[in-house]
Structure 1
Amino acid sequence: MRKAADVAEEAANSQTFAAVARAGYAVSGLLHLLIGVIAIQLAVGRSGEADVSGAVSELANKPAGPVLLWACFAACAALALWQLGNAILGYRHASDNKLTKRLSALGQALVFAALAATIMSFVMGQGQNSRESSSDFTATLMKAPFGIFLLIAVGAGIAITGVVFAVRGFRKKFTKDLSLSSNQSVHQFQLWVGVVGYIAKGIALFLVGLLVVIAAVRVQPEQSTGLDGGLKALKEQPYGPYLLAAVALGLIAYGLFLMVKAKTLRT
């Protein structure tokens, strides 16, 4: 067991593996850029699916779609394994091995594993509308014992995560994970995309969590429509198109931040 752990730790610290894993952040950044662009299209009255499935579908429809999807899958899968290694084996620097950071690594491992699974579903030609899958998941959970209470807890958790993202953006907490540039212009760009991006991502997550809670309270699983439904619901509010456009630009900023993170992540 000890030997296996040493091999796993050596693999996790491999420069080649780390480079592929960090590319997972760039992939997530690209998908957020595409989601933001689709959301802007929704704001001006065009159609689209402003969520991960919609973004992956956009990539799949490109001329080099299959190659792009395989590359994106590899990067996200590697990042999921890398973060899982951080959660289980710990970080290289002892000061980073706090329980909260290792739990955060576990959370990221689950997020990128899910993202890799979504991409693979499109590679296999089985990509599903995430709006429908969100409703199906909600309906299934409602049928379970104490399902409604569990669903409310899930929705509240997502909404709280959104608040945490927004606070992290306001307080610039993300900077401790980056190697910030000494160039003033680049430094300001890193801060700008981080602040705006985290706040917009927080708003989007809060909307998703709110819809889950509403669906549970009303026992109407069709109202749990994921990110796409949350953004479309935002458009129906007073000044909705302007609010949606603002969040869309924020998601684009978050996508740019993730690309910056892929390059400047402190390890």
Structure 2
Amino acid sequence: MKTLVAFIARTGYITKGIVYFFVGLFAVQAAIGVSAAASGTKQTIQEFIYRPFGDIILYVCMAGLFAHAVWRILQAIKDPEERGSGAGVMFFRLIDFLTGCLYISLSYACWQILQGLQTQSSDKNTEVWVGKILVLPFGKWLVLFCALVIVVAGLYQFYSAAIASFDYSFEDTKMSEKEKKMLRTLGQIGISAWGVVYCMVGFLFYQAAMQFDADEAGGLSDALNALQEQPFGVWILGATAGGLLIYGIYLLILSYYHKIYGR
């Protein structure tokens, strides 16, 4: 059973690493003017179908993203990393469960693309849901609250990167100090990039609330493209995109060094 769980976990991290490596790569291309705009997760997956052996790549992505979803749900329910059961840990286990549900939707998006069906981008989904919230009583304040939560989540990414709170998951017995330091540094860079993305998504939600316009909200690709519109935007987008690319590399290496059931 442990061997199966380890296989599922490592397969998921490999697939996630590949996807976010290309998210970062496409964002780098946008920053240097090779492409018109950065891509979100679903848009990046959509691009795979146009590559050689695109169908095979999508089937692999579908299986790998589903594997990551299973792993995150197992983290939430079974706590294979032995984090404990305190209030803070239970909160993060809830986040693991919700993240697992997100990756099920990404796996399903792969299937939709393979079937030639239309899949809505995460940005459009976000706009639809923000629009539904805005028309509710106190909808503007609910969206502002969402903006605050997202920004706090972004600031937490910076905090997590600064203290390297993620390295509890490293398998120490397989790593030298040099390898651990290298992987920790990659993680700090990648997670800091996510901090920038989260804060920008929060800003987009703030704009949507203040302007009472759901189209102002957005997800990953809208946040990346909004970065480019800021002062020194090319440099900000380039640095963030590079961080996301490094995050993908971090996940690929982590797939080997990740601790499974305290092994």
Q: TM-score, normalised by structure 1?
A: 0.85
1:146 correspondence with 2:138: yes
Distance 1:172 1:90 in 2: 20
Give, in angstroms, the shift of residue 128 of structure 1. 1.8
1:247 correspondence with 2:235: no
Counterpart residue number, 1:261: 254
Aligned length: 254
Counterpart residue number, 1:32: 20
Corresponding letter in the other structure for 1:175? D
Corresponding letter in the other structure for 2:221? D
1:204 correspondence with 2:192: no
Deviates more, 1:47-56 or 1:79-88: 79-88
Counterpart pick for 1:127 among 90, 111, 119:
119
Contact 1:88–1:102 (Cα < 8 Å) also in 2: no
For the structure 1 residues 92 and 203, does the alpha-carbon distance in structure 2 shift closer, same or farther, using more than 3 Å as the test? Answer: closer
Give, in angstroms, the shift of residue 40 of structure 1. 1.0
Q: What residue ranges of structure 2 are gaps of 5+ in the alignment?
A: none
For the structure 1 residues 33 and 100, does the alpha-carbon distance in structure 2 shift closer, same or farther, using more than 3 Å as the test? Answer: same
Contact 2:69–2:103 (Cα < 8 Å) also in 1: no
1:44 correspondence with 2:36: no
Distance 1:65 1:120 in 2: 16
1:67 alignment partner, SS class: helix
**CA RMSD for the aligned pairs?**
2.2
Counterpart pick for 1:58 among 42, 47, 57:
47
Q: What residue ranges of structure 1 are gaps of 5+ in the alignment?
A: 1-12
Distance 2:128 2:188 in 1: 34
Give, in angstroms, the shift of residue 184 of structure 1. 4.8
The superposition leaves residues 106-128 of structure 1 with CA deviations (integer Å, 9 ceiling, x where unpaired) of: 31232232233133224222222
Distance 2:249 2:230 in 1: 28
1:70 correspondence with 2:59: yes
Percent identity for Structure 1 against Structure 2: 24
Contact 1:158–1:206 (Cα < 8 Å) also in 2: yes
Matches within 5 A, 1:162-177: 162-177=154-169
Deviates more, 1:60-69 or 1:164-173: 60-69
Q: TM-score, normalised by structure 2?
A: 0.86
Contact 1:80–1:108 (Cα < 8 Å) also in 2: no
The superposition leaves residues 83-127 of structure 1 with CA deviations (integer Å, 9 ceiling, x where unpaired) of: 32332344474x633342343233123223223313322422222
The superposition leaves residues 203-234 of structure 1 with CA deviations (integer Å, 9 ceiling, x where unpaired) of: 11111112112211221111112221222121
Distance 2:52 2:100 in 1: 25
The superposition leaves residues 155-196 of structure 1 with CA deviations (integer Å, 9 ceiling, x where unpaired) of: 221211111111111111111121245435433321221111
Distance 1:112 1:41 in 2: 29
